[in-house]
Amino acid sequence: MQKFSALELFRQGLSGQSGWRPQWRNPEPKAAYDAVIIGGGGHGLGAAYYLAKQHGLRNIAVLEKGWLGGGNTGRNTTIIRSNYLFDESAALYDHALKLWEGLSQDLNYNVMFSQRGVLMLAHTVHDVQVFKRHVHANRANGVDNEWLSAEEAKAFCPPLNIQPNMRYPVLGGALQRRGGTARHDAVAWGYARAADALGVDIIENCEVTAIRRNAAGAVEAVETTRGVIKTPKIGVSAAGHTSVVLGMAGVRLPLESYPLQALVSEPIKPVFPCVVMSNTIHAYISQSDKGELVIGAGTDVYTSYTQRGGLHINQHTLEAICELFPMFRRMRMLRNWGGIVDVTPDRSPIIAKTSVPGLYVNCGWGTGGFKATPGAAHTLAWTIAKDEPHPINAPFTIERFRDGFLIDEAAAAAVAH
């Protein structure tokens, strides 16, 4: 791997930046691997990286049906936070946040992780009570979160409208200062480059079409559009398509796939210092380093695999944005798109073994998987390597639905669903 550094940049400058090599190889798939990861987004590439780095599995491959980071990794609004209510969730998401804090150094790749703070607005008495409960629960779990009055919220985010004559006036907010954003593509590319350097084969344009199982029921190979690949272990990180992939092995999961939309504005000078979310009126906004306002909308009401959705969903979000930030009322939106998110009944993920030996799954992240990328990748790699979960992902089983141990962030959640 060609290490990135200021000195290297200077050195390449002397030769007109002509000495840079591709950041990862483009190998042909081998006939067999010790493990195969299905899905070349941040979660899957990260799992391959941690498998190689921490568990010594070097003969592994990541299979991606399209291009790296072309699914939800490239379609989300890049918000990172860990202020979830329940102990299990706080442990999982804060595990990810701690990994984010050292990720650029770990990967020797600038993922542009920016802890600019995530401010979640309260608009009703109910919101205030719920958020204060979150603040206390988070602090008891060692996760930073603090309550701001409306005036303090405005001081933290000056564009915010706190006039009392709004339809849903701002009564205050919960602020996680360690939260923020990261550059989504860089996360996929950084993991890909680091995994490749450890010998991981990253194979794009390779769609899995079937999973073969042996007489004992365990996985033995995947059939792909680029041939049959033997492997005793398969990790699936396929987001909205998890049901489709797991269906190839006869495994049903409590998942439904919905379109989730986002949009960006034309780029402008820096005006927006943090991330602001409002669950109650459905608005998620930050400003990218390129200058675009990055705005998250809600899910459509119906299940779909189309990676698009209804325009009225975006309009609903923009109405809320214009009310909260009147200065953006005349801005033009540049692009909008959708991603397919896999939603569980309790809105908590599944990172677990399945009923099929050798088949592991990381799914159910719903509307909020990007923030968990390093944590999901790390615990999935652990689960694959040791054939048992890490203590952090141990509660996030498939069986929790059968056994009544739901981690019900759907009711408690800090995000709108």
Partner 1 sequence: MLLITCPYCGPRPELEFSHGGEAHIARPEKPSELSIEDWTQYLYLRANPKGLHAERWRHLHGCARFFNALRDTTTDQFVATYKAGEPRPTGGAA
List residues near partner 1 by CB under 8 A. Answer: 241, 243-244, 252-257, 301-306, 310-312, 342, 345, 401-402
Rounded Cα distance between 364 and 239, Å, is 7
Q: Closest distance between partner 1 and the C-beta of residue 201, in Å?
A: 27
DSSP per-residue letters across 349-388: -EEEE-SSTTEEEEE--TT--GGGHHHHHHHHHHHHHHSS
Output the six-digit token pair for 294.
Answer: 């990055």
- Kindly report the number of other CB atoms within 10 A of residue 313's CB atom: 21
CA pseudo-torsion sign 265, 77, 193, 224: negative
Q: 207: exposed, middle or buried (C-beta count within 10 Å: 0-12, 13-18, 19+)?
A: middle
Q: Closest distance between partner 1 and the C-beta of residue 310, in Å?
A: 4
Nearer to partner 1, 98 or 282 (CB): 282
* Residues in the chain, overall count: 417
Q: Closest distance between partner 1 and the C-beta of residue 75, in Å?
A: 18
CB burial of 132-166 (b: ≥16 within 10 Å; e: otherwise) equals eebbebbeebebbbebbebeebbebbebbebeeee
CA pseudo-torsion sign 149, 138, 259, 263: positive
Q: 107: exposed, middle or buried (C-beta count within 10 Å: 0-12, 13-18, 19+)?
A: buried
Output the six-digit token pair for 112.
Answer: 């542009």
Give, for 392, the enclosing helix (H) or strand (E): none
Rounded Cα distance between 333 and 178, Å, is 29
Alpha helices per DSSP H over 158-306: 184-197, 242-247
